[in-house]
Structure 1
Amino acid sequence: MSAHVVPACLSRVRRVPDHNTNPTFPQSCHVMASIDDIDSEISSVRARIASLHAQRANLASILLSTPHLSTRLQQRPVANEPLRRNASKIVKKQTSHNLENVYRACAGITAYRVRDPDPNAVDNGNILGVRIEVFVQSKFVETYHVLFSRPSARHKSMLRVHHHTVPACIPVKQLANKHLPQSQRDASKTTDQDLIKFGKLLRKELVAWHLRTAAVQKMRIEAGIEGKGKRRRATAEEPTYGKVLNAFVSDDEDDDEVDEEEEDDNSQSHERPIKIIDVESDLGVRHVSVAWSNGRTAALDIAKDGDITKAVVKTADGSRLPDLERRATGRVEGLLDRWST
């Protein structure tokens, strides 16, 4: 290599700036440190605000649960009647909330006896029934029954699930295998069973399922699509005779008209605002899919307690949207609010 080529090559190499000699570098470090301090202060303030909100809600529930408060609010005349009516509504709502808590704690599961009419039934048809009542949003939503039988005459205290009315998405069999294990017929001792724990965990699964279902239902209502899925499925299942005939009989004029209608629909779709057009979930409400009018889709994984553990949001061309995925994490109830902010 000639001597005049080396300086030319070296001249093309960019020099890396030395931060030690750059007079603006300490100033930038100071700015970054101050930004970190501000972020930490904002986080602490937000945590303090959340704590104060929780304390306020606790004190409000204690005040609204005072026994004679509703009676005092019914007394007339009052100086401000609208304020009294508003306070009465709040007290009534708190009373319903207290009733729900008491019922969940005390009377969610009851037992009863029933007899199997089958003459060949085991244990002479003696059946133990467990009634599980689910109470969600101040209403009794459903009652489920689990019937138990004694499969072995040798082990009188051993129970087995005979029949039940619990939905298929609830793991009844898994809970029974864990808390109601079966003993061998020739075993000298009975395997320990915990019927109370089985009932509690089964009711917990049912309540969580109903809460998830109610949350998704509320999300459909907030998105303004309640009932559209049913109408769309009904239309797809019941085609008219005209549509069937048009599938076999067509001409060029009809095709041109269809093309013009599709172009009009496409032009109008670009002008319409972007909104959610569909919210679907599986039977167990553990996987929820959301579709927008612009082709964007979202797939959500929901835990048993109603928290969104994973979210995948994609555009019409398949690109991921990390911002929406990050904001989706949290409770199902506030998903649309988090996406709209």
Structure 2
Amino acid sequence: MPEKTAPAPSGILLIDKPGGITSHDVVARARRALDTRKIGHAGTLDPMATGLLILGVGPATRLLTYLVGLDKTYEATIRLGVSTDSDDADGAETARADASALAAVTDARIAAGVEALTGQISQVPSTVSAIKVGGKRAYDLARAGAEVELKARTVTVGRFDVVARRPSTSSGTEVGPGIEAGTIDLDVVVDCSSGTYIRALARDLGAALGVGGHLTALRRTRIGPFEVADAVTEIQPDAAHHLRSAAAVAADVLGALPVTADEARDLRHGKRLVGAAPRLGATATATPAAIDPDGRLVGIVERGGDDLKSAMNMAEDAS
């Protein structure tokens, strides 16, 4: 008898991305380690940034659309006193504040600036970003010397805490207790909605204080219910052991809706669950994960009048 082929890997992989590589580099490493091409990620991290990156593997890549919009937590360092063309340390310096302007940056002024950037705010994304303008990435246009104007968008910053203030490690003359003439570094923790640019927060805080600012360090520690503490730091050939099942992840994010074997079969065949819409009251969201009696993900369901219908289906052997 011919040997059975091992099933292709499927699930969600949490990665703690190191600095200096792109999110695409992480995906490429995972493809080699897991020997599959079908891998995607739920939200990029800049090369400078470290921290949590969520990968979808195999059929579970279909879940990524439900993960990209989750809120996030970042730890970052903002350098006040210097502006760059990318709003982070990878860019070229465009302006530097003088000593007198920096000396006037009090804790009270920083607190007021942070408060103004907390809550629901209107934010213009950084010019060097992946947002598309006329079909092209903003960072490609900016690097080609084109003028890039991005529209403001509404984002929510639930927490913007300054946990430390100190002079930076760059050289400079001290103009007050612990204040360097060149720059001030702020270590911050930010909880925010998807689509928030921490670089833009650094830029806008510096602008409000009249000294300019940019990001020198960024680490993503949380995406929705997922923590970087639970991520792997290296992708090894046995990385499949670290895959989380699509069913478990979908239930964590969307809530679980148990269905019978017959209901699972009907959903997989595109049929509605007649009169089942009231059952959504017991789930976390309006689009819960339908889980069969064996604990497998049937798909994501949504209301269709009084019925429940499939918004996304998973193959029976890939959940």
Q: Give your verdict on TM over 0.5.
A: no
For Structure 1 versus Structure 2, the TM-score category normalised by the shorter chain is under 0.3
Higher relative contact order (CA 8 A, sep 6+): 2
User: Higher helix share goes to which structure?
Assistant: 1
Structure 1-normalised TM-score? 0.24
User: Higher strand share goes to which structure?
Assistant: 2
Structure 2-normalised TM-score? 0.25
Q: Which has more radius of gyration?
A: 1
